[in-house]
Structure 1
Amino acid sequence: MTVDVEDFFHVSAFESIIKPEQWSDYQPRVDANTRRLMDLFAKYDIKSTFFVLGWVAEKYPELIKEIHRQGHEVASHGYAHRRAAEQTPDEFKADVERSKNHLEDLLGVNISGYRAPSFSIGYRSEWAFEILAELGFAYSSSTYPVKHDLYGTPDWPRFAYKRKENIIEIPIPTLKLMGKQMPIGGGGYFRLYPYAMTKALVSKYLKQEKQPYSFYFHPWEIDDAQPRLTDAPLKSRFRHYVNLKYTEGKLERLLQDFNWSTMKDVYGVE
């Protein structure tokens, strides 16, 4: 079970209308939403991996400490939610290092996991793995082997594997159906699919692949009361707002129907 800890104004879907220098113009909702998630996890005694955006960690240090105090794994989501392929190697390193150092100073523990914004380590940014290994990360979960307009490496491995850079990559899950790889990892697909379909797909994956399954989503996905950005492109608004009011209920069913833990525990990485 994984959570990408970012706010509604950080997402890639809105990057054309909201720049980082404008983030302070919006009322943050990530603190309250993340705490709602932790309450839900506590109800079912579930531990999760929280990939924390460095910007959020600097604004809400007590939230991050509480995540850690409750026994969840804290990992890095970078600092400023910039996609890897849109940065130079030096910019990427500075962004990730800033986040990792801040989280480690805040919690006094080693941060061993990283997830790139929008699963953006791909064909044009494979160099990022070497930087992550250099910075001391043990694993990454930054690739999605599907075809998508914002991300995707459909011909890369589908299951956790150790790369030549000496770092473990844990791709977002896909299910092979009729020769194609279907995205089943969470996020917008989880909100779009009926819950019965999600449950059937995850069950089929576990039975067919005999591999661990990892799920991702964001605190804003349980927040139907968040502001509506009417000037965003129609496709972006659909992706972001579709079925928000049903997500928390569907998530609670998912927590009950399967067994969950942290990335470190499930994949045995330190």
Structure 2
Amino acid sequence: MTAVPRHPAPESPSLGGLSASGPAAGDRAGSGRAAAAPCAMSIDVEDWFHSENVADVVPRAAWDGCAQRAERNTLRMLEILAGHDVRATFFVLGWVAERRPALVRDIAAAGHEVASHGYGHELVYRMRPADFRADVTRARALLEDLSGQEVRGYRAPCFSITDWAIDELQAAGYAYDSSMVPTLAHDRYGRIEGYDGRLPVAELRPGFDEVCVSCLPFGRRGLPWGGGGWFRLTPFALWMRGVEAIRNAGLPYVFYIHPWEIDPGHPVPPGMRPSNRFRQRVNLGRCEARFDAIAGALDWMPVADLLEVWKGRPAAGGGRPGAAAPAPFRAPFPVDEETSR
């Protein structure tokens, strides 16, 4: 197993002093360790029928015949972000960009980072390297043409990253990946061998970095605490306490959401398995309000900006970050070490 070069957190004391109300009140004012920990907002721009939850009942050949709702939902998200003066990273699926080119231009014109979600929303670990290379190259060229930006970042569909994909991404011109979710609590997520899941950012290759989506340490496993179904399912106050815990440990916070998650009216195709229907639909009616709330609660930046801030920030005692591990972590709720293994 090859060791992965690190961009570790500066040394800091262990967690403590979680407020009852969570971090929202006062974080914008900027104080303490949590206020100093950067936060990245990211949107994975895909439509409801691209979700893996409906893949077994909505075949790829049927996509063009489905009700396309990504554009209107993404425009609503742009309105919400603008209301809080938030800049974000939009990982745009090439399939959507090709059919809604004005949307990509709107995202770029609003000052957001345009990044790649690939072209065809295929799980990376099921693809052949040559097919993956063609997919991410096509998506990057399309997005650069539409946005007028250099597309530096990539996020795999369903976070399905795997080792060989890193070299392919770098060869295709990407500078970072944000597909690692250091948890065992999801059956679709991929992994990178040798990656230390305690590290929020790591240099995987010279000139190529990984920016993890946030997890909350829970016993010997991490709970996904960066968005998705966990964000919709968890009581919002508890979610924000978890965010505060991550940031009080001196770690950056990386959040993601899909446009279809603020759209409770999107179609429910017949034949969905109950587990997939639950994953797709749980608390959709509350998600727009939650997204609005979290967008206004923290000081956000695009993923590329967080990467540069994190790599450049000094370690404790001055200088660039060394090889120290992140601070000891205490969860904001009781943990049973035996049952959480």
Q: Give the TM-score band, short-chain normalised.
A: over 0.9
Residue in 1 that maps onto 2:182: 145
Amino acid of the residue matched to residue 200 of structure 1?
A: R
Residue in 2 that maps onto 1:185: 226
CA distance in 1, matches of 2:223, 2:265: 30
CA distance in 2, matches of 1:152, 1:202: 23
Higher relative contact order (CA 8 A, sep 6+): 2
2:99 maps to 1:62: no
CA distance in 2, matches of 1:104, 1:157: 32
CA distance in 1, matches of 2:78, 2:204: 33
Give the secondary-structure state (helix, strand or coil) at the position aligned to 1:255: helix
2:106 maps to 1:52: no
- In the TM superposition, what whole-angstrom CA distance separates every residue of 1:212-239 from its partner, at most 9, and x where no partner exists? 1010010000001111123111111000
Residue in 2 that maps onto 1:236: 276
- In the TM superposition, what whole-angstrom CA distance separates every residue of 1:160-197 from its partner, at most 9, and x where no partner exists? 10013641011111121333311101011000001001
Residue in 1 that maps onto 2:195: 156
CA distance in 2, matches of 1:202, 1:157: 20
Residue in 2 that maps onto 1:203: 244
Are the equivalent residues in 2 in contact too, given 1:119–1:144 (CA < 8 A)?
A: yes
CA distance in 2, matches of 1:85, 1:226: 28
Gaps of 5+ in 2: 1-40, 310-341
Residue in 2 that maps onto 1:246: 286
Match of 1:17 among 57, 73, 81: 57
Normalized per residue, the structure richer in helix is 1
Give the secondary-structure state (helix, strand or coil) at the position aligned to 2:205: coil
2:110 maps to 1:73: no
Residue in 2 that maps onto 1:136: 173
CA distance in 1, matches of 2:117, 2:206: 20
Residue in 2 that maps onto 1:126: 163
Amino acid of the residue matched to residue 91 of structure 1?
A: D
Give the secondary-structure state (helix, strand or coil) at the position aligned to 1:127: helix
TM-score of the two chains, using structure 1 as the length reference: 0.95
**Deviant stretches of 4+, over 2 Å:** 152-158, 177-180
CA gap of 1:152–1:196, structure 2 versus 1, over 3 A, is farther
CA RMSD of aligned residues (A): 1.6
Residue in 1 that maps onto 2:78: 38
Amino acid of the residue matched to residue 275 of structure 2?
A: K
Rg comparison, structure with higher value: 2
Are the equivalent residues in 1 in contact too, given 2:44–2:259 (CA < 8 A)?
A: yes
Are the equivalent residues in 1 in contact too, given 2:58–2:269 (CA < 8 A)?
A: no
Gaps of 5+ in 1: none
Match of 1:171 among 212, 215, 232: 212
Give the secondary-structure state (helix, strand or coil) at the position aligned to 1:74: strand
Give the secondary-structure state (helix, strand or coil) at the position aligned to 1:163: strand
Are the equivalent residues in 2 in contact too, given 1:20–1:80 (CA < 8 A)?
A: no
Are the equivalent residues in 2 in contact too, given 1:145–1:152 (CA < 8 A)?
A: no
Amino acid of the residue matched to residue 120 of structure 1?
A: S
Match of 2:301 among 253, 261, 264: 261
- After TM superposition, give the deviation of residue 156 of structure 1 in Å: 3.0
- In the TM superposition, what whole-angstrom CA distance separates every residue of 1:14-53 from its partner, at most 9, and x where no partner exists? 1111222110111100010000000000000001100000
CA distance in 2, matches of 1:176, 1:146: 9
- After TM superposition, give the deviation of residue 69 of structure 1 in Å: 0.1
